Amino acid sequence: MARLAGRRALFAVPVLLVVTFGVFAIAAASPFDPVKAYAGTAALGADQETLDRLRENLGVDRPFAVRWWDWLTSALTGDLGHSTVLRQPVAQVIGERLVWSALLCAVAFAVAVLLGTLLGVLAARRPGSAADRAVTSLAYTLEAAPVFWIALLAVWLFALRWDVLPAGGLTDTGSEHVSLGQVTSHLVLPAGVLAVSQLPWFTLYVRQGVGDALAEDPVRGARARGLSERTVLLGHALRSGLLPVLTLIGSRVPELITGALLVESVFSWPGIAAATVEAATAVDFPLLAALTTLATAAVLAGNLLADLLYGLFDPRVKLSDM
Amino acid sequence: MSTRRIRGAAATAALAAAVTACSAPGSGGPGDAKSAGSVVIGVASEPDTLSPLLGYGKDGNSKIFDGLLAHDADLKLKPALAAALPEITDGGRTYTYTLRDGVEFSDGEPLTADDVVYTYRTVLDPKTNNTFKSELDAVKEVRASGDDKVVFTLKYPYAPFAARTVLPIVPEHVAGKQDPNTGSFNTKPVGTGPYVLSTWSKGEKLTFKANPRYWGGKPKVKTFTMAVIADDDVRATRLRSGDLDGAVLPPNLAATFKGDDATRTYEARSYDFRAVTLPTAHRVTGDRAIRRALDAAVDRRAMVDKILDGAGRPAYGPLPVDDPAFTEDIERAKDLGKAGRILDEAGWKPGEDGIRAKDGKRASLSLLYPSGDKVRQDHALAYASDAKKAGIEVKVESATWEVIEPRMKDTAVLAGFGSTGDPDFGLYTLLHSSLAGDGFNNMARYDNPAVDRALDTGRRSQDPAARKAAYDTLQRALVQDPGYTFLTHIDHLYVLADRWDGLTTQLEPHEHGFASGPWWNIEDWQPKQ
């Protein structure tokens, strides 16, 4: 297991190098002007001397490969650089916001996995039943619905029509402190929407996996031995039916991240999303590179986690062979 | 490692992550949002920085900082950190300020002349990444004379200089120890103003608390929050639900609060104009007859009524009609007959398709506007339809600033500008030929010697009557040779809960929302009994 993790970590190094280099190259080729982004609306009243001075001070005319190398070498010493557009050290930008994004993603992911498993098992118990048809069609509908659309719908229904949940923010606008109760009530809508957007994948995979397992010999054998339906379903079918879901966990991480970006902007959630969008449009190299590295690392870690779980739960798989 | 132990470890890690995530500072005081002592305002964007060295509050409208001088409701200058208006000597080249006694920064350190000198020298340092250094172009030297006197020496007599000294003063003992471009002062400001920053949750909100050390007395409004909500509709919704006490709104959404007894709508008049640039390099707009015809053909009144819902005024020049420096006899109505006569005389003959032509060139031009800006789009379309009636074809296109910028030297753009404080601030950069095509200054590359002379007189003369005369000359010259078609001055609209007395608005510049609004003097608000 340690060997697997170690090998993956070694593999991650060239991937991260290529990804960050690509980010610098794409950003340098983008039509956005970092000087204008830095100056913001003030650029529209600035004279050429001011724009030239900023261009020089910000060092934006250096070739992107040189800037990438500078960023990389200082990042290795622990200095992630300085975000020009947010006027803060990159480490601070990430530190302030990442925790809220991580909370949002973790809650949404947990809800999606649990609820998805529950609905999947419900549907798999009697293929073709009313429950199966309802769950399956719901899953296909949600699969097709864009996440920002679901988010706007949720705001309209829960915040405007029923007025039961806040429409945005981390806490009530008037309150000064971040309290557990406030964050919880403000988390419900964004995390719920994100969970719902991930739900169909888990539901459909579990339904398929458990459905197949119910038809397999070990389960039939268990039934024949007179074990209760509950034991058969949860102890035998679910356990082998969950295996494909474990691989799914890793592969859903990228979409979870992109989904979180949309959800955060709709709900004014102070996560990393707004910073990512700003970093991209402002050609803020250090911030963009750090965020991309982070996202790439999350995807790689997600895949590793899925493989590890698979090895642990499936007795047929040996981690040393992976 | 066994499966069981790994499962246990995973559960512990997940729990630890959840606990860390939730243990953010504070246990949550009673969020009594409805008391008049706390105000929550919804604004569309948040500042990049709170450091005056990089531009925050440079026009004297920061709640955390004070300048040497400040503006009152009528934009007249009044002393703030200076004990009195400056002493002007040496024919307008030397400005001496005496500091007010007993002013402390919010960390308890006293304000000294060295802080003022540090602030101005840092702003003027080419290494500091601000965008407004050129506004202090006239300054040759700034030095302290004793503990409480600051002396500015100018390169040339610059009449409106005092209005530039509303620039907020920062404490040298804090800001001086950091890199002004990247230091923590950008997000953790320390000033002398009525409020101190209490928390800044980036992308969500900024909370301010009354500064107990404020030299101007304790404000009645104790806490004050700026919630950052980019979407106009969401801002209106949260205002209606009581989550916000006030917000900046576009005209159509502000109108939905009419007849609501619990709120009041404030219309802040502004210098914020919308105009079409008419580049001199273009084969059609370079012709003075075309510019004059366009100027006569536009229906400014209809634009104010239809596009702005009445919340604005027709613009007959860069200065709004209620500015003291506005020349009243230049007001003019739409006159299609006059437009036709001007074009006839200049040899622009109507063609078969109704578009005029002269020597084989069609009276046709493109007009760019920044995409996504509804108000500018409406102005551009109305302009095109008015121009067509005079036989001039205007092709309206939308684009981002990245696309517009390289084209603006020879393509008309629907631009918006406007500065408060002094006529010189907005007009010089807009019209002076020496700044033609210099960044976003003088976008139309306007070049008129009479206007240049008037701008120079207005800038250098110390005599108010001579300055007024110069700006009169300029406004009349602009009517004879319009480098821009000025369309409207737009009002900025704010809707606030009706729980305070004495709310007013200032004349506002082009930029607004965070710094301007009825909360420009929130430290003076009195809760209603």
A287 pLDDT above the threshold of 60: yes
Model ipTM value: 0.70
Contacts of A92 (CB under 8 A, 6+ apart): none
A13-25 pLDDT, tens digit per residue, is: 888 889 889 888 8
Among the partner residues B20, B134, B225, nearest to A49 by beta-carbon distance:
B134
Best mutation site among B27, B39, B48 for testing chain A: the one with the most A CBs within 10 Å? Answer: B48
How far does the CA of residue B108 sit from the closest CA of chain A (Å)? 24
Query: Cα separation of B197 and A245, whole Å?
Result: 48
B24 pLDDT above the threshold of 50: no
Dihedral over Cα of A208, A210, A214, A218: its sign: positive
Query: Cα separation of B53 and B180, whole Å?
Result: 7
List A residues 150-169 in contact with B (Cβ-Cβ < 8 A): 159-160, 163, 166-169
Please tell me the predicted confidence (pLDDT) of residue B7.
Answer: 45
B402 close contact with A: CB closer than 8 A: yes
Contacts of A80 (CB under 8 A, 6+ apart): A74, A89, A90, A91, A94, A286, A290
How far does the CA of residue A299 sit from the closest CA of chain B (Å)? 18
B434 close contact with A: CB closer than 8 A: no
Q: Report residue B10's pLDDT band, with 50, 70 and 90 as the boundaries.
A: very low
Q: Are A183 and A100 in contact (CB under 8 A)?
A: no
Instruction: Pick left, alpha or beta for residue A6 (phi over 0 → left; psi -120 to 50 → alpha; otherwise beta).
Output: alpha
How far does the CA of residue A320 sit from the closest CA of chain B (Å)? 14
Instruction: Report in angstroms the alpha-carbon separations of A228 from A193, A223, A236, B112.
Output: 36, 7, 11, 85
What is the arithmetic mean of pLDDT over A222-233? 82
Select the more confidently predicted residue: A9 or A103: A103
Among the partner residues A39, A102, A270, nearest to B203 by beta-carbon distance:
A270
A173·B18 Cβ contact <8 A: no
How far does the CA of residue B292 sit from the closest CA of chain A (Å)? 26
B21·A172 Cβ contact <8 A: no
A322 pLDDT above the threshold of 70: no
Please tell me the predicted confidence (pLDDT) of residue B176.
Answer: 93
Give the DSSP per-residue string, A180-241. Answer: HHHHHHHHHHHHHHHHHHHHHHHHHHHHHHHHHHHTSHHHHHHHHTT--HHHIIIIIIHHHH
A246 pLDDT above the threshold of 80: no
B48·A182 Cβ contact <8 A: no
A36·B511 Cβ contact <8 A: no
Mean pLDDT over the full length of chain A: 84
Among the partner residues B32, B202, B227, nearest to A173 by beta-carbon distance:
B227
Query: Cα separation of A61 and B15, whole Å?
Result: 47
- Could you report how far apart the first and last alpha carbons of chain B are, in Å? 70
Quote the percentage of chain B above a pLDDT of 70: 92
Among the partner residues B203, B419, B440, nearest to A274 by beta-carbon distance:
B203
Which residues in chain A are closer than 8 Å to B224, comparing Cβ atoms? none
B429·A86 Cβ contact <8 A: no
Dihedral over Cα of B400, B440, B364, B360: its sign: negative
Please tell me the predicted confidence (pLDDT) of residue B34.
Answer: 57
B179-204 burial, b for 16+ CB within 10 Å, e for fewer? Answer: ebbbbbbbbebbbbbbbbbebbbbbb
- CA A58-A61-A65 angle, to 5 degrees, is 105
What is the arithmetic mean of pLDDT over B222-245? 84
Best mutation site among B51, B179, B202 for testing chain A: the one with the most A CBs within 10 Å? Answer: B202
A101-155 pLDDT, tens digit per residue, is: 889 999 999 999 899 989 998 898 888 889 899 999 999 999 888 888 898 888 8
Q: Report residue A241's pLDDT band, with 50, 70 and 90 as the boundaries.
A: confident
Q: A319 is written with which tokens?
A: 């981690």
Please tell me the predicted confidence (pLDDT) of residue A243.
Answer: 77
Q: Are A54 and A79 in contact (CB under 8 A)?
A: no
Best mutation site among A32, A36, A50, A266 for testing chain B: the one with the most B CBs within 10 Å? Answer: A50
Please tell me the predicted confidence (pLDDT) of residue B454.
Answer: 95
How far does the CA of residue A203 sit from the closest CA of chain B (Å)? 23
Strands lying side by side in the sheet with B361-362:
B349-350, B356-358, B361-362
List A residues 58-97 in contact with B (Cβ-Cβ < 8 A): 58, 82, 85-89, 93, 96-97
A169·B204 Cβ contact <8 A: yes
B8 pLDDT above the threshold of 60: no
- Chain A with chain B: Cβ pairs closer than 8 A: 179
A100·B21 Cβ contact <8 A: yes
Which residues in chain A are closer than 8 Å to B204, comparing Cβ atoms? 169-170, 268, 270
Q: Of B461, B463, B455, B457, whose CA–CA distance to B426 is shortest?
A: B455
A30 close contact with B: CB closer than 8 A: no
Q: Are B253 and B464 in contact (CB under 8 A)?
A: no
What is the arithmetic mean of pLDDT over A236-243? 78
Instruction: Name the residue with tokens 């027709």.
Output: B314
B16 pLDDT above the threshold of 70: no
Report residue B124: phi and psi, to 5°. -80, -10
B5 pLDDT above the threshold of 60: no
B513 pLDDT above the threshold of 70: no
Report residue B89: phi and psi, to 5°. -130, 180
Lowest mean pLDDT among A24-33, A173-182, B289-298: A173-182
Select the more confidently predicted residue: B230 or A22: A22
Q: Of B119, B144, B149, B145, whose CA–CA distance to B133 is shortest?
A: B119
Among the partner residues B49, B51, B201, nearest to A170 by beta-carbon distance:
B201
Contacts of A76 (CB under 8 A, 6+ apart): none
What is the arithmetic mean of pLDDT over A189-210? 90
Please tell me the predicted confidence (pLDDT) of residue B336.
Answer: 94
Q: Are B338 and B375 in contact (CB under 8 A)?
A: no
List B residues 178-217 in contact with A (Cβ-Cβ < 8 A): 181-182, 186-187, 198-199, 201-205, 207
Strands B492-497 and B246-249: antiparallel
B19 pLDDT above the threshold of 70: no
What is the arithmetic mean of pLDDT over B374-387? 93
Quote the percentage of chain A above a pLDDT of 70: 96
Lowest mean pLDDT among B231-235, B376-380, B428-432: B231-235
Best mutation site among A148, A268, A320 for testing chain B: the one with the most B CBs within 10 Å? Answer: A268
Q: Of B317, B273, B294, B313, whose CA–CA distance to B475 is shortest?
A: B317
B32 pLDDT above the threshold of 70: no
Which residues in chain A are closer than 8 Å to B201, comparing Cβ atoms? 170, 270
The residue of chain B nearest to residue A48, with distances taken between CA atoms, is: B439
A54·B435 Cβ contact <8 A: no
Please tell me the predicted confidence (pLDDT) of residue B403.
Answer: 87
The residue of chain B nearest to residue A50, with distances taken between CA atoms, is: B131
pTM of the shown model = 0.78
Residue B13 burial class via C-beta count within 10 angstroms: exposed 0-12, middle 13-18, buried 19 and up: exposed
B228·A48 Cβ contact <8 A: no
Mean pLDDT over the full length of chain B: 87
Lowest mean pLDDT among A41-50, A54-63, B21-30: B21-30
State the Rg of chain A over Cα. 24
Among the partner residues B25, B133, B202, nearest to A270 by beta-carbon distance:
B202
Please tell me the predicted confidence (pLDDT) of residue B20.
Answer: 38
Please tell me the predicted confidence (pLDDT) of residue B323.
Answer: 84
B465-510 pLDDT, tens digit per residue, is: 999 999 999 999 999 999 999 999 999 899 999 988 888 888 888 7
The residue of chain A nearest to residue B244, with distances taken between CA atoms, is: A173
A167·B24 Cβ contact <8 A: no
B185 pLDDT above the threshold of 70: yes
Please tell me the predicted confidence (pLDDT) of residue A96.
Answer: 84
Q: Report residue A321's pLDDT band, with 50, 70 and 90 as the boundaries.
A: low
Q: Report residue A281's pLDDT band, with 50, 70 and 90 as the boundaries.
A: confident
DSSP state of B270: B
Please tell me the predicted confidence (pLDDT) of residue A319.
Answer: 65
B31·A172 Cβ contact <8 A: yes
A43 pLDDT above the threshold of 80: no
Among the partner residues B26, B402, B511, nearest to A177 by beta-carbon distance:
B26
Please tell me the predicted confidence (pLDDT) of residue B11.
Answer: 44
B33·A172 Cβ contact <8 A: yes
Which residues in chain B are closer than 8 Å to A180, comparing Cβ atoms? 22, 28
The residue of chain B nearest to residue A103, with distances taken between CA atoms, is: B21
Give the DSSP per-residue string, B179-239. Answer: -TTTSGGGTS---SSSEEEEEEETTTEEEEEE-TT-TT---S--EEEEEE---HHHHHHHH
Select the more confidently predicted residue: A316 or B404: B404
B274 close contact with A: CB closer than 8 A: no
What is the arithmetic mean of pLDDT over B246-251? 88
- Which range is most confident: A41-55, A281-295, B237-251, B268-282? B268-282
